Chains A and B, each alone.
Chain A
Amino acid sequence: MKRRDLLKNLIVFLPVSRSFFSCAAQASGTAPIQGYDPDNHLYGMGIEVSKCIGCGKCIEACKTENNVPQEPFFCRTWVERYIVRNDKSVAVETVRTTQKETRAAPNEKDILRSFFVPKLCNQCEHPPCVQVCPVGATFQTRDGVVLVDSDRCIGCRYCIQACPFGARYLHPEKRTADKCTFCYHRVVKGLLPACVEVCPTQARIFGDLKSKASQLVRFQRMNNVHVLKPHLNTEPKVYYSDLDGVVT
């Protein structure tokens, strides 16, 4: 091949291949689900604390659905047992799901009150974890869910530090940050998140904040709802009813 031909071909090849690649990427990038417009949705979750029985089915289901490691300290969602003792001291422990471990029932005589609080990523309206990501791997979707691109995440753990709710963990195999996505792959197809699906007492309510008829908006209408750590102004989208004052 002559030098002139090579140069000529290069001039043609470069822009063409470029536009070809970006076209292919664009084609797969737009409209993930037919007929689904993320701008019409804004997802949130309601949690009725007084209904939670601490069975841990939500944790197990989440681990199955999302390939979360089975070890107890890797969780996208977890359940905390709060014990307020007679001397007003508060003890918090995470409910263990594996049946081999004895479910530590606390000494009843010493309890003033006790209850379970399910927790998960609050999908904040102003997420601190997104602000601190140095590579832009985590971001908020248009339907209000905070996602992590595990291909881009460099595993610096900055977001794990930044989350005031402790909702993120470092995936031990992928070595990237991982968190609750409200089961994004399910909700865009009209299914409920796995934890909501299996909750035996319907302590978890999933819904669309933009739809007045949704379960979640009804839940907000009928209950006194709180969010966790409202003073941080992150505007969480996980709403708790009957939330005790000692819960942080």
Chain B
Amino acid sequence: MCGANKKSFWRNIPDQIIRLAVVTVLLVGGAGAIYILLPASLTSTKLHRELTVTAETEKPIRFAGSTLCGDCHQIEYEKKIVGYHKSLSCETCHGAAAAHVDDPMAATPFVPREREVCPVCHEYDPSRPTGFPQINPTIHNPLQSCANCHNPHDPVPPTTPQECSACHAGIMRTKSVSSHALIACTTCHKVPEQHKIFPRIVRATKPESRDFCGTCHSQGSSERSAPKIDLSRHEERYVCWQCHYPHLPAERL
């Protein structure tokens, strides 16, 4: 009875009402679905901006910042902050090091040893500000690593060598055991001051004639301790250093 009533109830609804109801249900359902499926940030500008800002702040950091390095690398850090490179961050030369700070063993920063690295800043370029230290890499001590003469953590211009032994250590050691040990290098070599700065461009002189050795070793010489020879008769077709090595004269070549 009840069931039959129900059936007749549904049947009695006019067709137009059912269609209207279907359309209403679809509209309401569609609106509801959009309401749920669309993220809230699409409808709220404020929320969207906050979410974007949050996403932006969560991006990974690659450069750790210069203050952290000193915690472990004290010697280099303290040297650097008083030198000409004090305005440089460690990561300027060594590359991004946040991974190294997080786990020192996992990632090692780049250590620039090649000659190509320093000229990135210090190669002469007419657009660079006047007074910035610049060099011409093709003539500035070619093939040498920059760190051989300049400490990158305290890059003072290298001091000019006071002693010849700074560069000519082998000759100096040989000479020190020879009978010429007490003779200064400058007795035989004229050394221009510029030779200490541009050793390959401005060179020291060498004796050129037999007479130069003769100033000590000829028979008329006032130098009493030097062995004497007769310059006019002693192998007159040769210069002295073809047979005698002046830095170790006892040895005959």
Contacts and interface: CB of A to CB of B under 8 A. Distances in A.
To the question of whether A and B form a pair in one complex, the answer is yes
A224 B121 CA distance: 26
A126 B54 CA distance: 23
B125 interface: yes
Interface residues of B, number: 45
Majority SS at the chain A contact face: mixed
Contacts of A30: 50
Nearest to A116: B127
Interface string A140-167: 0100000101001000000000000000
Interface of A: 14, 17-18, 21-22, 25-26, 28-30, 32-33, 38, 50-57, 61, 64-66, 81-83, 99, 103, 105-106, 108, 111, 114-116, 136, 139, 141, 147, 149, 152, 181, 184-186, 188-189, 191-192, 194, 197-202
Contacts of A194: 62-63, 96
Contacts of A32: 50, 53-54, 57-58
B50 A14 contact: no
B40 A25 contact: yes
Given A65-B63, A198-B92, A105 B35 contact: no
Contacts of A188: 57
B219 interface: no
Nearest to B116: A99
Contacts of B125: 53-54, 103, 105
B41 A147 contact: no
Interface stretch (B13-21, B83-91, B174-182, B206-214): B83-91
B87 A197 contact: no
B45 interface: yes
Interface of B: 32, 35-36, 39-41, 45, 47-63, 65-66, 85, 87-89, 91-92, 95-96, 116, 120-121, 123-129, 132
Contact of A200 (B88, B126, B127): B88
Contacts of A105: 124-126
A191 B61 contact: yes
A194 B123 CA distance: 24
B63 A197 contact: yes
B29 to A, nearest CB: 9
Contacts of A115: 127, 129
B127 A33 contact: no
Contact of B40 (A21, A99, A111, A184): A21
24 contacts: A18-B36, A22-B47, A25-B51, A29-B47, A29-B50, A32-B53, A32-B58, A38-B53, A55-B121, A61-B91, A64-B63, A106-B127, A111-B126, A115-B127, A116-B127, A136-B48, A149-B48, A152-B52, A185-B56, A185-B60, A186-B61, A197-B63, A197-B91, A202-B87
B126 A114 contact: yes
Contacts of A106: 126-127
Contacts of A38: 53
Contacts of A64: 62-63, 95-96
B129 A50 contact: yes
